[in-house]
Amino acid sequence: MDAIPGCNNPDLERAIPCSYAPFPDEEPQPEIPTNRRRPMKVFISAFTAVFFLALFAVLLGNQRSETPEADGVGSSSSKILKPVSRGVAQGVSEKAFRLFSGDEDGYSWTNAMLSWQRTEFHFQPEKNWMNDPNGPIFYKGWYHLFYQYNPDSALWGNITWGHAVSRDLIHWLHLPLAMVPDRWYDINGVWTGSATILPNGTILMLYTGSTNDSVQVQNLAYPADPSDPLLLHWVKDPSNPVLVPPPGIGLKDFRDPTTAWLSPEDDWRITIGSKVNTTGISLVYRTKDFRSYELLPGVLHAVPGTGMWECIDFYPVSTTEENGLDTSVNGPGVKHVLKASLDDDKNDYYALGTYDQQSNTWTPDNPEEDVGIGLRYDYGKFYASKTFYDQNKQRRILWGWIGETDSEIADTNKGWSSLQNIPREVVFDNKTGSNILQWPVEEVESLRISSQEFSKVKVDAGSIVPLDIDETTQLDITAEFEIEKEALEGTNGTDVGYNCINSGGAAGRGALGPFGLLVFAHHSLSEKTPVYFYLAKGTDGNVKTFFCSDESSSSEANDVGKVVYGSTVPVLDGEKLSMRLLVDHSIVESFAQGGRTVITSRVYPTKAIYGLARLFLFNNATGASITASLKIWKMNSASIKPYSDQ
């Protein structure tokens, strides 16, 4: 396949009229599939109701009645964008997307645009707000996911535990709320927690409660009927709270207990995040019965300058085998991952290291890449994650909260906020020895419908190539790239200071990049989300590879986040550059080199939606052509619906 004539404009920031066959001259309107039209009916009813109310008001002599704009319930024009802060006063990290500090008006979102944003194979509740994943487990044939949920609105607040079950981590049944804030010790929120399955099969859930005084305490809960595979009912232990903030720890700086692990002394250990001044710390407690606890001296680990550690996760990975490990495993051939969600910047950082059970300390392999200053699970929108050991398939699975980066007005209008990622299997990368690999669970492949392959497509420097795919809003894409050998060898000392975030995004050109894919791209390229590699070659001849995702032209709307995300990715001798993308309406999860570097983007196009979203290869390098081979699957929708006995 050749590059399209006329599309050789190297500047991706300029709209390129790439007029190839499928696009008529007239700007077509997006076709709205019938299953996404429901909100329009709601709108029509709402409009009718508002109309009659307005008429009534006029009849009463009120001259100032208002009607909504004709084309959208989502019209947010003339509304101030900056939302109020949510969560900080209660002592958790910011739960509102507050990128916009000005008084600007919002974009006039139409119903069709907002409806399109709802995903089809990512887990989300039927409506309202969701944040952290909580207490994931596999029990009696079901995967359970609990999550932070506001049953009343699409904004954070009134936090309860939502609950859903699945046979395969992909198709879900929504169950009734598992726990609601109904005791003095959690009346301000049933916050994040983790499950431990004891060797005898007993499930214990430890969670943070925000008390009537907004003090953070830890509470114990368990299933009312352990023989019920759905674990519908939960009992809060009469001895709650089982832990209160210890001396020297702020009353609002003590939260999110981990899964417990069994120590050689035959007691259980948990760690809880906190901070002392600006040093993030992980406190460790010992317990026999999960009701009484002893704080161990010192801390598991501390990193100055990283602030409050939320949602700590602590688990072993095997350096010799591919399977995951139960949380209590330690010994030869094992490293421990320590992860903290940083309250200050709302990103999940991890490091690999060694856990010494005697001294109860964890030491990073590389102090320069310690927790909070080194590697991240995901360089995009991803927070408050949690793993669990899946004893069903001997693997460790990672869940994370993918928040919205649009306005609260839009969230309220669409009626929901936030997704969970497609669960990822986590293993130690024994090729590099210095990072983990994350990969979507194999079960997601059951959603693959039809596939198309593109073999060795040449993309010249400064050109784009359309990929002829019918529907591009639900895809699983695997792609391999080879860069022209002579150009790679002949280039030296380029882009020494390059990084994804500050180097001009996909429009920033260098000799050896950027090149990759444009997803959710309008044919005019006025909207597009490039996901790409960029090679920077030092004067010493060493090549550093970057993997980035550029949201800066993802939408013509002014009230959504448009960040360029990314980081370096290790590429070993003999490896091809490879990426995998899971594309599902307003989310793109991107994995480079088998999951060494991962980026999740939330995007909200206004034009590149429904049938008008296109997929392109692009190469914005100045001095090298690339060759790409791809396999692209159209993805089915997952079945995610309320549970019924039937």
Q: Looking at the annotation, which residues are catalytic? A: 132
Query: How far is residue 229 CA from its own chain's centroid?
Result: 28
Q: Minimum Å distance from CB 297 to ligand DQQ?
A: 25
State which residue, 75 or 134, has the beta carbon closest to ligand DQQ. Answer: 134
CB 181 within 8 Å of CB 197 = no
Round to whole Å and give the CA distance between 562 and 107: 14
Round to whole Å and give the CA distance between 113 and 94: 27
State which residue, 308 or 615, has the beta carbon closest to ligand DQQ. Answer: 308
Query: How far is residue 70 CA from its own chain's centroid?
Result: 34
Q: Minimum Å distance from CB 93 to ligand DQQ?
A: 6
Q: Minimum Å distance from CB 366 to ligand DQQ?
A: 27
Q: Minimum Å distance from CB 281 to ligand DQQ?
A: 14
Question: What are the start-end ranges of the E strands in 101-202?
Answer: 128-139, 142-150, 160-166, 172-179, 190-197
Structure tokens that stand for 168 in this block: 């395969």
Round to whole Å and give the CA distance between 613 and 113: 12
State which residue, 132 or 551, has the beta carbon closest to ligand DQQ. Answer: 132
Round to whole Å and give the CA distance between 640 and 77: 33
Q: Minimum Å distance from CB 156 to ligand DQQ?
A: 7
Buried-state track 504-519, b at ≥16 Cβ within 10 A, e below 16: bbbbbbbbbbbbbbbb
- Could you please report the per-residue DSSP string of 220-238? EEEES-TT-TT---EEE-T
State which residue, 192 or 568, has the beta carbon closest to ligand DQQ. Answer: 192
Q: How far is CA 558 from CA 99, 108, 409, in A?
A: 11, 10, 13
Q: Minimum Å distance from CB 27 to ligand DQQ?
A: 41
What phi, psi does 216 have (nearest 5°)?
-90, 120
Q: Which residues pair with 640 in a beta bridge?
A: 172
Q: Which of 602, 610, 590 is nearest to 473 (CA)?
A: 610
Question: Helix or strand or coil: residue 386?
Answer: strand
**Nearest-CB residue for ligand DQQ:** 191
Q: How far is CA 527 from CA 104, 191, 600, 615, in A?
A: 21, 38, 18, 11
Q: Minimum Å distance from CB 286 to ligand DQQ?
A: 22
Q: Minimum Å distance from CB 595 to ligand DQQ?
A: 23
State which residue, 80 or 251, has the beta carbon closest to ligand DQQ. Answer: 251
Q: Minimum Å distance from CB 379 to ligand DQQ?
A: 18
Question: Helix or strand or coil: residue 36?
Answer: helix
Q: How far is CA 582 from CA 568, 591, 602, 633, in A?
A: 20, 9, 12, 10
Question: Mapped to the 3 state alphabet, what secondary structure does 186-221 carry?
Answer: CCCCEEEEEEEECCCCCEEEEEEEECCCCCEEEEEE
State which residue, 161 or 268, has the beta carbon closest to ligand DQQ. Answer: 161
Number of CB atoms found within 10 A of residue 256's CB: 29
CB 375 within 8 Å of CB 313 = no
Round to whole Å and give the CA distance between 457 and 307: 47
Round to whole Å and give the CA distance between 136 and 397: 9
Structure tokens that stand for 425 in this block: 């299997």
Round to whole Å and give the CA distance between 565 and 547: 9
Within 13 A of 570's CA, how many CA atoms are on the CB side? 15
Round to whole Å and give the CA distance between 68 and 76: 10
Residue type, 561: G
State which residue, 257 or 466, has the beta carbon closest to ligand DQQ. Answer: 257
State which residue, 234 or 498, has the beta carbon closest to ligand DQQ. Answer: 234
CB 261 within 8 Å of CB 357 = no
State which residue, 19 or 279, has the beta carbon closest to ligand DQQ. Answer: 279
Q: Minimum Å distance from CB 216 to ligand DQQ?
A: 8
State which residue, 206 or 615, has the beta carbon closest to ligand DQQ. Answer: 206
State which residue, 311 or 531, has the beta carbon closest to ligand DQQ. Answer: 311
Which parts of this chain interact with ligand DQQ (CB under 6 A)? 92-93, 131-132, 148, 159, 191-192, 208, 255-256, 310-311, 384
Q: Minimum Å distance from CB 310 to ligand DQQ?
A: 4
Cα Rg of the chain, angstroms: 25
